[in-house]
Amino acid sequence: LFRSLDEKLGQLNLPGAGDIVTGQASNSGIAQKIAEGKVGGLFNIKSVEKIREVQQLAVTKSRLKIPLIFGMDVIHGYRTVFPIPLGLSSTWDMQLIERSARIAAIEASADGINWTFSPMVDIARDPRWGRVMEGAGEDTYLGSKIAIARVKGFQGNLGDINSVMACVKHFVGYGAAVGGRDYNSVDMSDRMLWETYLPPFKAALDAGAATFMNSFNDLNGVPATRSEEHTSELQSPCT
């Protein structure tokens, strides 16, 4: 079947599932969009029942019957809660960190989650930045090792029923926002970029990370979400 332009755009649409937290998932506004082929996946929908219900809509009611993908911020555990990533990083125990991600993946996938927006591999050296807790801290070597461990833990044998796709974030330089202000500009030398901030992303890529997330800043005046220069240089499979 040929997809219309609206359906192609719909496959890129990943709305939050806020309007189906309560009540029947099939009666929500999002459900109507799913039936019309205007949604490719849902973000932060939780429970087997709701996920099954909206997936049934996608594969029976939409014209193309393409299954939805379900993503969630599984940052430090799903049912079982682990220390925040910054806390886990202080252990320097890669087996423990990989195991915590594996447990999270098993629990999340059992609920129907396919995709986690983790690990965050941003190097962060300004304590004023509020998202320091979500990463591995200020050390590039440690951050790279943890990136590998968490990608392997989340993905396992990718394609197995108890695996979830990792989404490595935020590409690139997000942890170096000027003044520690979130979403702010980043200003750094090429040497700092290549030696300090890029290695964890390369490590995650080499570990088989399925997807990457763009950062929300500009890097030396170039928006991270629209950079032909950096895309051509780095050849990154950012999603």
- pLDDT tens for each residue of 106-131: 999 999 999 999 999 999 999 999 99
Q: Tell me: the pLDDT tens digits for 134-165?
A: 999 999 999 999 999 999 999 999 999 999 99
Burial environment of residue 221 by CB neighbours within 10 A (0 to 12, 13 to 18, 19 or more) = exposed
10-residue averages of pLDDT along the chain (239 residues): 86 81 62 92 90 94 95 96 97 98 98 97 96 97 98 96 97 96 96 98 98 95 79 47
Neighbours of 183 (CB within 10 A): 10
Is the bond preceding residue 54 a cis peptide, omega within 30 degrees?
A: no
Write phi, then psi, for 184 (nearest 5 degrees). Answer: -85, 175
Q: Using CA atoms, how far apart are residues 109 and 104, in angstroms rounded to an integer? A: 8
What's the rounded Cα separation, in Å, for the pair 173 and 11? 28
What whole-number distance in Å separates Cα of residue 2 and Cα of residue 233?
34
* E-state strands within 54-114: 69-72
